[in-house]
């Protein structure tokens, strides 16, 4: 395993999870999620995010994505897109199903939107991580 590529992929993945999440959740789908919260409503959200923990989460997601890309041998944009998408789908579906089953934080419609959004974000991040890990280059 190439640890330099793993580290670069992890950092790239973390940055992409942050940037794409900001675009998708804060701009494109914010009103959708505001209207599809669970019974707990908006009272469960912090007024200010704890940035250190957000970035720790992004880094963990980036490391996991980079590890899976490395282990699967995905080195093309398309394989990275598929690998990242499947990983994102399974991870978020598992997390959201458990959250829905045990709390009032998320609704079924919110869960569906979240799973689709995170799957798309993970697919794009997976394509980039695969490409940077040795992908489609000419020359």
Query: CA–CA separation, 133 vs 139, rounded Å?
Result: 16
pLDDT band at 139 (very low <50, low <70, confident <90, very high): very low
Tens digits of per-residue pLDDT, 34-71? 888 888 876 777 778 899 999 999 999 999 999 999 99
| pTM given for the model | 0.90
Percent of the chain with pLDDT over 70: 96
Burial of 32 by CB count in 10 Å (0-12 exposed, 13-18 middle, 19+ buried)? middle
- Examine the pLDDT at 138 and tell me if it is beyond 70: no
* pLDDT value, residue 135: 56
Q: pLDDT digits over 101-128, tens only? A: 999 989 999 999 999 999 999 999 999 9
């Amino acid at each position: 395993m190439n640890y330099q590529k793993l580290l670069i992929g992890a950092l790239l993945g973390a940055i992409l999870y942050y940037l794409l999440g900001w675009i998708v959740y804060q701009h494109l789908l914010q009103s959708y999620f505001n209207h599809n919260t669970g019974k707990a409503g908006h009272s469960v959200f912090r007024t200010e995010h704890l940035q250190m923990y957000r970035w720790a989460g992004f880094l963990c997601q980036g490391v996991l994505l980079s590890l899976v890309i490395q282990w699967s041998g995905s080195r093309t944009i398309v394989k990275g897109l598929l690998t990242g998408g499947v990983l994102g789908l399974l991870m978020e579906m598992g997390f959201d199903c458990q959250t829905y089953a045990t709390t009032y934080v998320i609704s079924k419609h919110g869960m569906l939107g979240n799973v689709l959004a995170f799957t798309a974000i993970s697919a794009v991040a997976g394509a980039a991580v695969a490409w940077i890990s040795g992908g489609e280059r000419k020359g």
